[in-house]
Amino acid sequence: MPKPRVIYWFRTDLRLHDSPALAAALELKPSCLYPIWTWDPHYVYRARVGPNRWQFLLDCQEDLSKSITKLNPKSKLFLIREAPQTLFPKLFKEWKITHLVFEKDTDAYARQRDEAVMQIAKKAGVEVIVKVGRTLYDPDELVKQNKGKSTMSIAQVQSAGAKIGNIPRPIPSPTSLPDPGDLSLSFSPERPEETPDFNASHRESQDKSYQELSGPNNDFAIPTLSELGIKPATSPHRGGETLALSALSSILSDVAYTATFEKPKTAPTDFSPQSTTLLSPHLHFGSLSVREFYWRVQDIVTSFKSKGKKPSEPPTSLTGQLLFRDMYFGAQAAQGYAFAQTYNNSNIRFIPWHLPSTISPDNSLITGSYHVDDAQAESYFRRWKSGTTGFPFVDALMRQLRLEGWIHHLGRHMVACFLTRGGCYIDWERGAEVFEEWLIDHEVACNVGNWQWLSCTAFYSQYYRCYSPVAFGRKWDPEGAFVKKYVPELENFDKKYVYEPWKAPIADQKKWGCLVKGDGGGDESEATKEGLKNYPKPMFDFDTQRDICIQGMKNAYRVGLYGNDKRVLDGTWRTL
Ligand code: FAD
């Protein structure tokens, strides 16, 4: 029997440590191993990806490539610039491939792509090996053990997980890698079809990444941001397995922090350092194995307990956080594409979002004369996105998100609640799109699931519990240091006014160098004339607006429509 010739297809697993799929590829004892990344136009154009997440991805690829080369100087991460669906049939033939190995991905688009690739492989007589490694449990198994349903609570994950068995222990990194085979390619790249470019606003020049199959120098190199035409990143957070493992070790060296971690007690306003692990982008790109993270924490917890000390427990503990991640993967695995939208989704409550100018406190789903003020809702959305709502805590968080690509979980709670049921009454799907573009840890399952949670459309239903943009920030950071860092217009304001600057006397505003005036849309002339900065007035009275939202939610809950209800699909809900 000739020895196997294997392609290892890196996607959600940019690491060498604890990779069950890579281990399976090596178990084949191949005569050659091609570690490759295919540059999928879906991610380049159709997914919304800002410069910070691009940079994080390129960092992960660079680091992985170097680590591969350390194990075999003839090898590296070979980047090929073509969609996998069109590339693989040619590659299989040209490189005489016998096996294709990759980590399982249950995202809706990935399933569709992988199904197509598996068909292609079958036709070419190539054996495909797929291994689970992205989550604690296989999301499909979780669903199966949850009676075929989406996992909608931690308790369901724990109970389904117990039926699956123990979470596998991490496996060691390989100590050597086989040579790649012949790398010549006799075909030209198939250019992606014309496709809407959701990342056009992040480009400063034309995308040249598809001009050559193996890069401009024919060396399968990782493209630069400039080759992709993408503007420079602004985030201080960088990617790569080396950084991820050293960050994990450094965090876990604090045994008490690790064993007694309680998420609700961590401050969303801490920034130097942040109060949680900030490992989410590494988990997203697979530069850190989630099972490595889980077991290293769990072993610390076990040893802590054995000394008679009391550790924290799921759901608030660190391992509890990882169970939340699995819960959203399970929910997505069961629902596929429908998961990310309300329309035709039986799991999501239908709320007639968009800002009714009034929601009268009667029992109707809407008022008799339902009036959506589109222009007003659009203005609220724009101001939320640009961090100019006039509520400094919300604005600081949105500016941190845009600049750095990461904000604390409770900060995400604040801005998501504010945009939807606790302020603007705007559809969660619009907020999720902004997060998709800006987060460096953007994960479809976690982003969509958490937006559903915060908007009380799924997972959570206590819509009367809203976050105040004044009291919530002040609770964590009475001095307002976080606000002052990201909203420097207010840097000289007394702490008494930093969360409500509009209440400061004009004389004090002038003394502190910033006039609170206008709507953030350029009404700065008076401030500029006086050599002052400008910060907008709040875009609405929060208490009034929150009450309107709660009334709207109450009515919607009473009527109780879901996304797949006939009356939602045909628009007759308006008469309810
Ligand atoms: P830690 O508190 O240190 O937790 C450790 C790990 O557990 C995280 O790295 C993450 O992988 C996982 N985790 C923690 N909380 C959650 C949670 N609620 N849901 C799922 N996983 C969790 N997380 C993402 O990874 N990608 C997203 O796109 C994303 N979008 C979100 C959108 C909204 C509106 C909200 C409210 C939350 C979102 N989260 C998302 C969840 C959570 O905010 C982040 O995972 C967390 O803040 C990451 O920081 P950390 O690594 O310091 O977390």
pLDDT in tens, 309-337: 999 999 999 999 999 999 999 999 999 99
- pLDDT band per the 50, 70, 90 thresholds, residue 40: confident
**Nearest-CA residue for atom 33 of ligand 1:** 450
- Compute, in angstroms, the gap from residue 352 CA to the centroid of ligand 1: 27
If one residue of 322, 408, 450, 460 were mutated to test the ligand 1 pocket, choosing by the most ligand atoms within 8 A of its CB, it would be 450
pLDDT in tens, 206-253: 888 888 899 989 999 999 999 999 999 999 999 999 999 999 999 999
**Nearest-CA residue for atom 22 of ligand 1:** 325
pLDDT of residue 188: 86
470-479 CB burial, b ≥16 within 10 A, e <16: bebbbebbee
Query: Which atom in ligand 1 lies closest to the alpha carbon of residue 263?
Result: 2
If one residue of 312, 409, 419 were mutated to test the ligand 1 pocket, choosing by the most ligand atoms within 8 A of its CB, it would be 409
Mean pLDDT, rounded, for 176-201: 88
- pLDDT band per the 50, 70, 90 thresholds, residue 357: low
Does the beta carbon of 53 sit less than 6 angstroms from any atom of ligand 1?
A: no
Does the beta carbon of 321 sit less than 6 angstroms from any atom of ligand 1?
A: yes
How far, in Å, CA of 118 to CA of 101, rounded? 11
Residue 129 bridge partners (DSSP): 101
Both tokens of 479, joined, read 């001095």
Query: Which atom in ligand 1 lies closest to the alpha carbon of residue 261?
Result: 2
Does the beta carbon of 450 sit less than 6 angstroms from any atom of ligand 1?
A: yes
pLDDT of residue 369: 36
Both tokens of 400, joined, read 């941190």
If one residue of 280, 285, 297 were mutated to test the ligand 1 pocket, choosing by the most ligand atoms within 8 A of its CB, it would be 280
Q: Please check whether residue 542 is in contact with residue 503, taking contact to mean a CB–CB distance below 8 angstroms.
A: no
Query: Which atom in ligand 1 lies closest to the alpha carbon of residue 416?
Result: 34
- Compute, in angstroms, the gap from residue 454 CA to the centroid of ligand 1: 13
Does position 43 have pLDDT exceeding 90, yes or no? no
Does position 355 have pLDDT exceeding 70, yes or no? no
**Nearest-CA residue for atom 14 of ligand 1:** 321
Does the beta carbon of 412 sit less than 6 angstroms from any atom of ligand 1?
A: yes
DSSP state of 44: I
The pTM (predicted TM-score) of the whole model is: 0.96
**Nearest-CA residue for atom 11 of ligand 1:** 280
- pLDDT band per the 50, 70, 90 thresholds, residue 371: very low
Does the beta carbon of 421 sit less than 6 angstroms from any atom of ligand 1?
A: no
- Compute, in angstroms, the gap from residue 538 CA to the centroid of ligand 1: 29
Spatial CA neighbour of 533 closest among 553, 546, 549, 518: 518
If residue 471 lies in a helix (H) or strand (E), which one and from where to where?
helix 471-476
Tell me whether residue 522 is exposed, middle or buried, using C-beta atoms within 10 angstroms of its C-beta: 0 to 12, 13 to 18, 19 or more: exposed
Query: Which atom in ligand 1 lies closest to the alpha carbon of residue 281?
Result: 25
pLDDT in tens, 456-506: 999 999 999 999 999 999 999 999 999 999 999 999 999 999 999 999 999
| Lowest mean per-residue pLDDT among 17-21, 198-202, 501-505 | 198-202
Both tokens of 40, joined, read 């999928």
Does the beta carbon of 397 sit less than 6 angstroms from any atom of ligand 1?
A: no
Q: What percent of the chain has pLDDT over 90?
A: 84
Global ipTM: 1.00
Q: Please state, in angstroms and as integers, the Cα–Cα distance from residue 483 to each residue in 4, 518, 534, following that order.
A: 58, 19, 15
3-state SS, 397-465, equals HHHHHHHHCCCCHHHHHHHHHHHCCCCCCCCHHHHHHHHHHHCCCCCHHHHHHHHHHHCCCCCCCCCCC
Does the beta carbon of 439 sit less than 6 angstroms from any atom of ligand 1?
A: yes
535-562 CB burial, b ≥16 within 10 A, e <16: bbebbbebeebbebbbbbbebbeebebb
How far, in Å, CA of 562 to CA of 338, rounded? 13
How far, in Å, CA of 568 to CA of 362, rounded? 21
Does the beta carbon of 98 sit less than 6 angstroms from any atom of ligand 1?
A: no
Does the beta carbon of 438 sit less than 6 angstroms from any atom of ligand 1?
A: no
Does the beta carbon of 409 sit less than 6 angstroms from any atom of ligand 1?
A: yes
Spatial CA neighbour of 95 closest among 36, 39, 41: 36
- Compute, in angstroms, the gap from residue 446 CA to the centroid of ligand 1: 7
**Nearest-CA residue for atom 15 of ligand 1:** 321
- Of 1 and 80, the one with more pLDDT: 80
pLDDT in tens, 374-384: 778 889 999 99
Does position 523 have pLDDT exceeding 70, yes or no? no
Does the beta carbon of 340 sit less than 6 angstroms from any atom of ligand 1?
A: no
**Nearest-CA residue for atom 4 of ligand 1:** 321
DSSP state of 225: T
How far, in Å, CA of 299 to CA of 174, rounded? 23
- Compute, in angstroms, the gap from residue 28 CA to the centroid of ligand 1: 36
Does position 138 have pLDDT exceeding 70, yes or no? yes
How far, in Å, CA of 406 to CA of 277, rounded? 12
Q: Please check whether residue 150 is in contact with residue 345, taking contact to mean a CB–CB distance below 8 angstroms.
A: no
**Nearest-CA residue for atom 21 of ligand 1:** 325
Does the beta carbon of 244 sit less than 6 angstroms from any atom of ligand 1?
A: no
Does position 368 have pLDDT exceeding 60, yes or no? no
Does the beta carbon of 11 sit less than 6 angstroms from any atom of ligand 1?
A: no
pLDDT in tens, 271-299: 999 999 999 999 999 999 999 999 999 99
- Compute, in angstroms, the gap from residue 155 CA to the centroid of ligand 1: 18
Does position 126 have pLDDT exceeding 70, yes or no? yes
What does the mean pLDDT of the chain come to?
94
Query: Which atom in ligand 1 lies closest to the alpha carbon of residue 328?
Result: 20
How far, in Å, CA of 533 to CA of 490, rounded? 9
Q: Tell me the residue type at 443.
A: E
